[in-house]
Structure 1
Amino acid sequence: MKTKVLKSVIASVLVAAGAHAQATVVASNSDGAIFDGSSGNRTLTVTSHGTIQDLNLTVDFAKCDNNGADGPLLDANNNCIGRGNSFDSEIVFSLTGPNGQPVSLVQKNTFSNGNTPGLGRIQLTFDDEASTAAGGKMRAGSYAPVQAPSVFDGLDMFGNWTLFVQDTRRGDPLQYFGAWLDITSGTVAEVPEPATVAIVGLGLIGMGALRRRRQV
């Protein structure tokens, strides 16, 4: 009976040691910029290790007609000031993992034009489990991207992730505000704390002592 109790305690300790097998890690970038017929990269750094089980990316931006002006794109309520077509077909987003693997989220002509005026500041979440595929007239919300981020599943999440942002033609700027990664992961080769190792060691010694007593 004592042996069963001791085994149960050891099993509980081992389960507790691996209790953090899943976690949601967030890496963000808020290096804002305006892209108008131009492009740039933004880095999102994940500082912990873990095997990727699911990955989503959210981009916070605005795409507005500026009527040829060089002033601000948005009013105080984050609505587009320009009242013309925002030409959302010019948007390009892609994500490259720490291993150099690129995934296209939005290609040129993924979204159609026709938002008059533009939507203003919005957030798009790219999730391969979303029910709506990226395309058609753009709205804020979740979309399944052009290529599935599931290609990253099973990889270590640690390192620098690169978001590529492009506005393919001048005249209707894309204003980038920020982006963040949500990663659900399992731990990679998690090493138990020294105290955990000591407890398990004492338990094994105790089990050995019980066996020897029974043999005498």
Structure 2
Amino acid sequence: MDTETLLTTTRSVRRKLDLDRPVAHEVIADCLRVAQQAPAAGGLLTAQRWIAVTDPAIRAGIAPLVQRSAHAAWAHYADQVDSRMFVSARHLVDHIGQVPALVIPCMPGRPPSSPAEQSAYYGSIYPAVWSFQLALRTRGLASSMCSYHVVDHEEDVAKLLGIPEGFTQIGLIAVAYSKQAEFSPAPRPPVEEILSFDAWAGPRR
């Protein structure tokens, strides 16, 4: 597919993941090889570590931790989320242990407190996360961030995976082959409503 189609139709896929088809280690490694060419805002690119969990027993250990965190979060904000999106998110959480690959990118240290340092910290990993998701799409796979556990069960997942102290789990990416081949661009605000040149022209609050 052409680049613009790839960028405008790569969706966060939750209900169309093929839970029965394994994802080979070689495919994940190849997508991460591509993702490592993403631009980085800071100097921590080479310090990234990624863990791809494909063992069913380990995925089964992670699943309840994600689910408990998700249910706790939903108790606070589920009523503020679009109902269709919530149903989709719930489907993924309910089946998270069956997703063939759970990929967890990690960064050294803990997130810094200042906005400028946070920008460099997360900016060193999130471009690679997005490039990883794009690379998956070109190979017939789909993905979705499902990172609820980092709020209150990050340490438990670290123990399961042997992640040493001094590393932060940036999130959890659910990865599987997609049951749907074609996706359309999602509804988004017109560019004219969100873009201004040379001065702020948006809402004052």
Q: TM-score, normalised by structure 1?
A: 0.24
Which of structures 1 and 2 has the bigger CA Rg? 1
Higher helix content, 1 or 2: 2
Higher strand content, 1 or 2: 1
